[in-house]
Amino acid sequence: MTNSNTLRQFRHDIYDCFPRAKDALFNTIDGLMTEIQATSFPEISQSPLFERTWASLYEAFEDGRIDEKRLREILARYLPKPDAGKWLWIGIDASKIARPAAVTSADRTAQHMHNLPECKKPVTFGWQFSTVVALAEPVSSWTYILDQQRVASQTTAIEVAEEQLRQVVPYLPKQVIVVLDRGYDSNWLWCRCSALEVEVLGRLKSNRCFYRAAPPPTGKKGCPRKDGDKLQPKDPATHQDPDGVWKGTDEKERPVEVTWWKHMHVKQARYLDVTVLRVVRPHATNKERDPRVSWFVWIGDQEADVTQIALGYVLRFGQEHGYRFDKQCLLWEQPRLRTPEQFERWSHIVAIAHNHLVLARDVVEAERRPWESKQRKPTPNRCGAGCTNCWHVWALLPGHHNHAENRKAG
């Protein structure tokens, strides 16, 4: 649980991450959290905690600088730790920032548009950002952002995710499970993660092929077999001889069945010992986002309770809620900044504001609307509304600066 002293120190440390335009960038964080009625980037300047004119917002991201390495260390240091004996669940995903009309902006890439009506080309152009978050239990938007990086045109989201994990994992506790969606179904990434001393639960594509260990040599002529029996999710004929089956209910008391095959491998990396899991949910609608049958790979302790691990994949959907909060309430997509470097700074500010609210939820009383139930847990946005009501207290907290020599953004 966070107290006011921890929050003060967090603000001090974040302030020191800004080599240039310290006050303007820090005012932007406070304004972003407290001006919850803002619907555009300049409206953030209307917060009582933003001491400059609206034009200073753009100047701050043109002239300001952020020490990304130091910021990464600080965000990991203040990460809310899981309870003793529990896993820390880490999610990785990529989200697009559409800029279809910004033809002069550098390094835009083609981005697939999800959830559109059927059309020939569901594609837009813009920037893509890869985000590493600590997932909340139960599933909610109370995620905690550990790192956020832009996926440049010369690389891929998978390569950026591996780099982010390599940078972040040294600051994390020992018991870490990295949860990956089907977009990260990659032998290369699995092998890299196995060298980072983290355990991985990844969702599989249906055309994946796994094999059991090779049978002993028969003594006949020819090269002995290198692989055993095949297992492929889309081929029911290969789903023979599982190592275990569990039938029970999920957290909402709905029936679920988990089947697993231990000590499997892929041909491209036979040294990688994995467990393949199948989760069947009879109550599902069997649509694209709610399948009845899902397949996963577990890369970690082969003696772990794979049933609870498989059911824990649902925590990954909290990252989607976190993205929605960042885009709808923290205006992540709104600023029309000209260069990708400026938008990278803005993305770091959004991440800091997001984490600030996570740390402040034990200190600030959330403001509920008249029609909201008091039994319902408050959201990050309602926590921001609570910060607005006590803005005079925020102004007194260390980390909120008003030095005359730092009045301008640059």
Question: Tokens 């310290």, residue?
Answer: 22
Tell me the whole-structure pTM to 2 decimals.
0.90
Residue 7 in this model has a pLDDT that exceeds 60: yes
Phi, psi of 106 (to 5 degrees): -75, 150
Tokens 């006011």 appear where?
4
pLDDT at 194 over 60: yes
pLDDT tier, 38 (very low <50, low <70, confident <90, very high otherwise): confident
Question: pLDDT tens across 343-401, in order?
Answer: 999 999 999 999 999 998 888 877 777 877 777 788 888 777 777 666 545 554 444 54
The mean pLDDT value of the chain amounts to 88
Task: Tell me: pLDDT of 305 over 60.
Answer: yes
SS3 category, 212: strand
Residue intervals in the chain for CATH 3.90.350.10 = 72-214+225-323
Angstrom CA distances, 54 to 27, 51, 206, stand at 11, 9, 51
How high is the pLDDT of residue 120?
A: 61
Looking at per-residue confidence, does 178 or 218 come out higher? 178
Compute the average pLDDT of residues 229-244.
94
pLDDT of residue 118: 60
Which amino acid type is present at position 43? E
Give the pLDDT band of residue 409 (cuts 50, 70, 90). Answer: very low
Phi and psi (nearest 5°) for 110?
-75, 135
**pLDDT value at position 353?**
94
Q: So what's the pLDDT on residue 115? A: 58
Instruction: Return the number of other C-beta atoms located less than 10 Å from residue 281's C-beta.
Output: 17
Is 24 in contact with 59 (CB distance < 8 Å)? yes
Q: What is the pLDDT of residue 260?
A: 97
pLDDT of residue 408: 37
Q: Is 144 exposed, middle or buried (0-12, 13-18, 19+ CB in 10 A)?
A: buried
Lowest mean pLDDT among 121-125, 193-197, 211-215, 322-326: 121-125
Pick the CATH number of 72-214+225-323 from 3.90.350.10, 1.10.3720.10, 3.40.50.300, 3.30.43.10: 3.90.350.10
Structure confidence at residue 119 (pLDDT): 60
Contact 277/293 with Cβ under 8 angstroms? Answer: no
Strands 210-212 and 269-280: unpaired
pLDDT of 1 over the 70 cut: no
Q: What pLDDT was estimated at residue 407? A: 35
Instruction: Determine the pLDDT at residue 381.
Output: 81
Distance CA 152, CA 94 (A): 12
Residue 35 CB burial class (10 angstroms; 0-12, 13-18, ≥19): buried
Strand partners of residue 248: 256
User: Which secondary structure element, helix H or strand E, spans residue 320, and what is its range?
Assistant: helix 318-328
pLDDT at 319 over 80: yes
Of the ranges 4-13, 26-35, 155-164, which is most confident? 155-164
3-state secondary structure of 13: helix
Question: Does residue 73 carry a pLDDT above 90?
Answer: yes
